[in-house]
Amino acid sequence: MRRRDLLKNALTGACGYTALWRDARAQGTSRVPKLKIREVRAVELRDSGSRYVRVYTDQGLTGTGEMVDNIGSANIINERLGPALVGADPLDIESIYFNFWGWGKVPDSTWPVFMRGTGGGPYLSAVSGIEIALWDLAGKALGAPVYRLLGGKVRDRVAIYLWWSGDAAETRALIQDKHVRGFKMAIDSITERGDPNQKLDPQKRSHFNVTNAEIDEIVEKVGAARDLVGPKVELALECHTRYNTEAAIQIGRAVAPSRPMWLEEPVTSDNLEAMALIRRSVPVPVACGENIYTRYGFLQVAEKQAAAVVQPDMTKCGGLLETRKIASLVELYHIQIAPHGVASPLAGTAYAHVCATVPNFLILEWGHFFRSKLLNSLMRNLPEYDNGMVRIPEAPGIGIEVNDDAIREHLRPGFQWA
């Protein structure tokens, strides 16, 4: 079988449930309610900066999604994409996605909103949020958790890791009480001494090369962190694209004795040749992908063998099904997936549904959910956590309840939430 045919077959499996819905409804054998989208509304929150989107139907059923990182995505939904969806069948998720990230048009527009190959940005973030909301709605309409609609689970729980706060006492408590399996620490913002209890200074570095003194400081800090968490807890190293190729290779070799889980984005993802060279040159896995969009972007990563681990962010790379397709694609290249996650527990739980279906899943970024009372207050019925893992909800849709009162309390001026 040709490689192109193999890729095609791998990517069509995740779409099977959408096809089953369509065929069953055409034959009159489905119990799926006939729904039409009545309204799509997006909001931005102050304080947390969270952005949510809700799809409303003519029968009162709703679905809620989330998007991140892109200023203006909520307005794009409210002013352009939302009105285009009124009257559409919310269960035709693939069709809606194709229209907005293919050749579809929106009202008062001569040209398509998107053209393939244009990358990400606020439009794709908006589409991602809508897509997540549609899966939540579909699960509720069908009485099934999202993971079942994506092909079923290969695991009941997904392993998670947290951000490194720099607080030694907190870290010990998280390991002992929560049995946290991994942390991610930034090494581009280093302190004056290798003290894992010292807060990071994000303003210290402004150049792409690295000095011997900086390498020594990075090694000392990573070594101190490894001593603190012990040999069984994973430790990922975040570079925030702050280095050039030579510096990244030097750092990767220097920190190898601490056995990091990966070296994340040592250079920018728009130079995959450099990323691939780093991967070939260091004895530490290289990870990237939080700013790579759709399976077309990740195909380049896979073909160039630029990373051992990819990190798609479902709230801006195209949504849940697109991430499932990305996972199937990179699996053919023996690449693992560890989704990027900086959103609230709503998106985090949606991520977990996808991760439950992915054979080549490694670990999920769980951000600061254990630390943020605000983010946790925005949701009810958070997923169960046990022994460093999140259990996949069995309730229909994403499986957690949005606290609408809390959302309204934190709305930015000019937005409304029903």
Domain residue ranges in the chain = 3-144, 157-403
pTM for the whole structure: 0.88
Q: Do 157-403 and 3-144 have the same topology in CATH?
A: no
Residues paired with residue 309 on neighbouring β-strands, in sequence order: 287, 336
Ramachandran category for residue 313: left, alpha or beta (phi over 0 → left; psi -120 to 50 → alpha): beta
273-298 tens-digit pLDDT:
999 999 999 999 999 999 999 999 99
| Mean pLDDT, the chain, whole residue set | 86
227-238 tens-digit pLDDT:
999 999 999 999
Cβ(87)–Cβ(58) below 8 Å: no
Structure tokens at 260: 């990091």
181-207 tens-digit pLDDT:
999 999 986 554 445 555 444 445 556
CATH of domain 3-144: 3.30.390.10
Instruction: Examine the pLDDT at 20 and tell me if it is beyond 50.
Output: no
Q: Spell out the CATH class of 157-403.
A: alpha beta
For residue 171, give every residue at least 6 positions away whose Cβ sits within 8 Å of its Cβ, in sequence order, or none.
164, 165, 183, 196, 228, 229
333-373 tens-digit pLDDT:
999 999 999 889 999 999 999 999 999 999 999 976 667 88
Confidence of residue 157 (pLDDT cuts 50, 70, 90): very high
Residue that wins the pLDDT comparison between 21 and 384: 384
Report the b/e string of 47-85 with b at 16+ CB within 10 A. eeebbbbbbbbeeebbbbbbbbbbeebbebbbebbbebb
Instruction: Name the least confident of 12-26, 117-131, 133-147, 271-285.
Output: 12-26
